[in-house]
Structure 1
Amino acid sequence: MNPLRPTSTNPLPAVVLACRGAPGADLNLVRSLGRAGVPVIVVGEYPFPPSGYSRHCIEFICARDFTLQPERLLKVLRELRMRHGQALPVFASADPDLRALVALHADLVGTALWVSSSPDMIARLQDQRRFAELARQHELPVPALHAPRTLEEVEALGRVLAYPVVVKPSQAGSWHRPGIDPALARRCAVRIDDADALMRLCCQLAPQGLEHLVIQDHVPGDVDEQWTVHACIARGGSPVLVATTRTLRTWPADFGAASHLETVSMPDLEAEAGAMLRRLRLRGMVSMNFRRDPRTGRMWLLEINPRASGASLLLARAGMNLPARVYDEVCGRAAMPPAVHWRTGLRYRHGLADLHAFLVRRREGREGWLRYLFSLLHPRTVFRAFDPSDMGPPVQMSTDWLLRKLRGSGRWVWSRLGQGAA
């Protein structure tokens, strides 16, 4: 038997990409695959990502800034192909590394095993302006979206819009540019309550180009009116695994990534999402973000992400290991049946971000200490970093945080000494 071929005792390694800004997503992917007995090679665009310290990671390779220079990633994947004698499955953990894979799509044939939708479909889903057109074509329930090209168009829109509205980047990460406030760049969207505020924000973003923003109708309600449907779509085009999570808190507050969420049962929403996915003919792992209008009960589709979500480990613990299902398909392994009982009520928490989110909500009078403390004591919680069976990542993250603090303290001391000497 060829020792390089995957077997039950010698599974083929999977490659997980780790880009800047999403350490929880790649760590969740590594741990999800590890739960299924799949060894993982982490390829990071920066040194020392937490996922590289997981016990499930058998090798870490640094391909610096591969999201900006995808040819560096291609070189690594080709070297892995030569070393293992066959193409390895590759998993994107966030939008930047997914865009890198799309850029390399033609070169990946025979080099890597990547299950996803077509490059054009991915590009349409990742660009809010193109996604709005896709939604119109397929009659998806997406809130009305406006894409002004000049400040004059913004001014005209400002006179007729029904406020509040939200301003959001046209693509994830498109506000991470010099000249844009980093606090603004971290947000998924910004709520705007009047025309003057809209013009001020657009004037701030105009030097970078108004093509990097869109204006969308605001769906009211707190963050707990948001649900995400996660699906794995096989070659036939039908979802084979579908699960739902509900958002409880986000960071940044209201318009950020989920810092606290739980697994729920939403069969009607899952059926509606499945019908949309079949119309779009997507493949691989997909997550769909919905928000319910509390005035009408209508579910609005906010976005579709054609990749694994940051909640992949929570889903695996609850009985729906989507990365493992994709791995089984691309490697030709017999897929393990999903758990008979989908475990609802499991929670996922990004501890520090969730604390920041709570403190904002407390200042605004939307949540008290008692509710927060009870959420801390929830017995079925999956933590972003802490895992007693996989302590490498939390130890590395704690050490890295401590070193940053010490370096910062050292710079402060030397600056004070310099002032004294002067």
Structure 2
Amino acid sequence: MSRPILPVDPLPCVVLSCIGAVEGDMNVVRALGAVGIPVILIGEHEAPPASLSRHCCEFIRVPDFARMPERLRDVLETLAQRHGEPLPVIPSADPDLQAMLTLQEQGATCFVPTWPEAALTRTLMDKQAFDRLAVAQALPVPLGFAPETLSEAREASERLRYPAIVKPATPVAWWHQTALPASVRRAKAIRVESADELMALCAQLLPLRAATLVQEFVDGPDEEHFDVHAYIDREGRVQAVFGGRKWRIWPPHAGSGCFVESLDEPALEAQALEILQRIGFRGIANMNFKRDARDGRFVLLEINPRVSQWGILTTRCGVNLPWLAWREACGLSMPPQPLRGQAGRWYVNALKDWHAMRQYRAEGLLGPLAWLRSLLHRPMVCQTFSVSDPWPAMKLTARWIAGKMRSRSRPAPAVTEDAHKTRHR
């Protein structure tokens, strides 16, 4: 995509960066900066890597803003006063978006939203509410249930085909449940192989009122996961569409794309756009599908009203969704023709892909040589490394090395005789 013509003094765009999701922010900062839009990064971290990007003109730390959105409102009010008008805001992850929805619903006017209307956004972010919407609109989704009691879970368990997937109903529904194991609290989804496994997991979740959705697993390997990214303007016109195939995901079987190929899939794109029009969607859409190995049809897993965590590939393929969101928020004209993604480009998140390969290898699904050969695909887009914007990657590398050195310098825990006997029983 050629560099667009901008106003002489373009209005800055605010990008949000929350703890626990530190990659989407860098994608948005680079996407905006690449076309000359000044970026103000607001983050919960003390120094997120995206703050070192050459495209970041200002970094403001607002600790814990996801839980206390009023802190974010104060900063946005100050920025609006400084620039003489509210600034567009682009969230980069679910906690950011939830904080902005709270401010929007409270009537705050110190920012320009770039997401769909609040009620639809809430519905899409709540998997139970989305399941109800999908049934009402006859969307092609897996069979799902939202049990609130163990008896409801038992009834659902008898109607499902296995394996099944268990998800938090909202992005943070399990996060603050300290009674749950860390592996459960942080999971995006958990695969269960039988009714007994499902009931064991529900026995942990439901007594804590941890909102949960149970869905049938769509049969097929991880490489049958596809995404469609799109932008629909306020008039309902399609301004951009992009298709990608996730060849590897992290965590495997229930995670986000860590090795992705851009592709031309007109039938899937048409299906995705028809769904967005049916539900009245406006703004940036990140739609997740999986192709069912039994019949070849694409099944809709979720619609995220925000950028993807690997959205930098979308931008490098000519579909700059943050730029479109900024333009519309600023009242500028949109491109004369819809943007379409270029096929045949690749993306890798090196660290996550390394971890994914190790698990795939343990399951007998991928060997190291095949993994290395896959990384020879060109052109390749890296999540953090960029020749033109190297400092974020250097910071992440230094942080990783420091973490390894600290872990090696810690003394090994003493093993008592009793513990030794217990371990080898």
TM-score bracket, shorter-length normalisation: over 0.9
C-alpha displacement at 1:337, in angstroms? 5.2
Deviations 1:73-129 (CA, angstroms, capped at 9, x unpaired):
101100101111111110000111100010000456541111221111111111111
User: 2:313: which partner in 1?
Assistant: 314
Q: In the aligned structure 2, how far is the partner of 1:406 from the partner of 1:414?
A: 17
User: 1:162: which partner in 2?
Assistant: 161
User: 1:143: which partner in 2?
Assistant: 142
Would you say the 8 A contact 2:327–2:333 is kept in 1?
A: yes
User: 1:3: which partner in 2?
Assistant: none
C-alpha distance 371-406 of structure 1, shift in aligned 2 (>3 A): closer
Task: Name whichever of 306-315 and 407-416 sits farther off.
Answer: 407-416
State how 1:1-80 maps to structure 2 within 5 Å: 8-80=7-79
User: 1:83: which partner in 2?
Assistant: 82
User: 2:354: which partner in 1?
Assistant: 355
Would you say the 8 A contact 2:105–2:118 is kept in 1?
A: no
Task: Name whichever of 149-158 and 107-116 sits farther off.
Answer: 107-116
Deviations 1:47-80 (CA, angstroms, capped at 9, x unpaired):
1111111000011001111000000110110010
Would you say the 8 A contact 2:241–2:340 is kept in 1?
A: no
Q: In the aligned structure 1, how far is the partner of 2:71 from the partner of 2:330?
A: 25
Q: What is the DSSP-based 3-state SS (H/G/I as helix, E as strand, rest coil) of the residue aligned with 1:242?
A: strand
Would you say the 8 A contact 1:116–1:282 is kept in 2?
A: no
Letter matched to residue 65 of structure 1: D
Would you say the 8 A contact 1:167–1:192 is kept in 2?
A: yes
C-alpha displacement at 1:287, in angstroms? 1.0
Q: In the aligned structure 1, how far is the partner of 2:413 from the partner of 2:359?
A: 34
Task: Name whichever of 269-278 and 198-207 sits farther off.
Answer: 198-207
User: 2:199: which partner in 1?
Assistant: 199
Q: In the aligned structure 2, how far is the partner of 1:108 from the partner of 1:374?
A: 53
User: 1:346: which partner in 2?
Assistant: 345
Deviations 1:348-380 (CA, angstroms, capped at 9, x unpaired):
111011011111111211122232111222221
Would you say the 8 A contact 1:13–1:41 is kept in 2?
A: yes
C-alpha distance 75-49 of structure 1, shift in aligned 2 (>3 A): same
Q: In the aligned structure 2, how far is the partner of 1:108 from the partner of 1:15?
A: 19
Q: TM-score, normalised by structure 2?
A: 0.91
Task: Name whichever of 364-373 and 255-264 sits farther off.
Answer: 364-373
- Does 2:327 correspond to 1:328? yes
Give structure 1 stretches of 5+ with no counterpart.
Answer: 1-5, 417-422
Would you say the 8 A contact 2:319–2:339 is kept in 1?
A: no
User: 2:295: which partner in 1?
Assistant: 296
C-alpha distance 341-279 of structure 1, shift in aligned 2 (>3 A): closer
User: 1:180: which partner in 2?
Assistant: 180
Letter matched to residue 200 of structure 1: A
Deviations 1:28-51 (CA, angstroms, capped at 9, x unpaired):
000011111111010001211111
Letter matched to residue 104 of structure 1: L
C-alpha distance 358-338 of structure 1, shift in aligned 2 (>3 A): farther
Q: In the aligned structure 2, how far is the partner of 1:412 from the partner of 1:87?
A: 52
Task: Name whichever of 200-209 and 372-381 sits farther off.
Answer: 200-209
Q: In the aligned structure 1, how far is the partner of 2:107 from the partner of 2:380?
A: 38
Task: Name whichever of 184-193 and 213-222 sits farther off.
Answer: 184-193
State how 1:84-103 maps to structure 2 within 5 Å: 84-103=83-102
Letter matched to residue 131 of structure 1: F
Letter matched to residue 47 of structure 1: E
- Does 2:241 correspond to 1:242? yes
User: 2:189: which partner in 1?
Assistant: 189
User: 1:265: which partner in 2?
Assistant: 264
Q: In the aligned structure 1, how far is the partner of 2:359 from the partner of 2:413?
A: 34
Q: In the aligned structure 2, how far is the partner of 1:112 from the partner of 1:38?
A: 17
C-alpha displacement at 1:15, in angstroms? 0.5
C-alpha distance 181-204 of structure 1, shift in aligned 2 (>3 A): same
C-alpha displacement at 1:340, in angstroms? 7.5
Would you say the 8 A contact 1:320–1:339 is kept in 2?
A: no
Q: In the aligned structure 2, how far is the partner of 1:411 from the partner of 1:362?
A: 29
Would you say the 8 A contact 2:250–2:257 is kept in 1?
A: yes
C-alpha displacement at 1:198, in angstroms? 1.2
Q: In the aligned structure 2, how far is the partner of 1:339 from the partner of 1:101?
A: 28
Q: In the aligned structure 2, how far is the partner of 1:35 from the partner of 1:230?
A: 19
C-alpha displacement at 1:304, in angstroms? 0.5
Deviations 1:311-333 (CA, angstroms, capped at 9, x unpaired):
32111111111111111122133
Would you say the 8 A contact 1:263–1:343 is kept in 2?
A: yes
User: How many residues matched?
Assistant: 410
- Does 2:131 correspond to 1:132? yes
Higher share of residues assigned helix: 1
C-alpha distance 246-7 of structure 1, shift in aligned 2 (>3 A): closer
Would you say the 8 A contact 1:238–1:278 is kept in 2?
A: no
Q: In the aligned structure 2, how far is the partner of 1:283 from the partner of 1:318?
A: 22
C-alpha displacement at 1:409, in angstroms? 4.1
Letter matched to residue 268 of structure 1: A
Letter matched to residue 25 of structure 2: D
Letter matched to residue 190 of structure 2: V
Task: Name whichever of 230-239 and 176-185 sits farther off.
Answer: 176-185
Q: TM-score, normalised by structure 1?
A: 0.92
C-alpha displacement at 1:243, in angstroms? 0.9
Deviations 1:128-184 (CA, angstroms, capped at 9, x unpaired):
111111111111111111111111222233334322211111112322231222223
Letter matched to residue 194 of structure 2: D
Q: In the aligned structure 2, how far is the partner of 1:69 from the partner of 1:415?
A: 41
User: 2:103: which partner in 1?
Assistant: 104
Give structure 2 stretches of 5+ with no counterpart.
Answer: 416-425
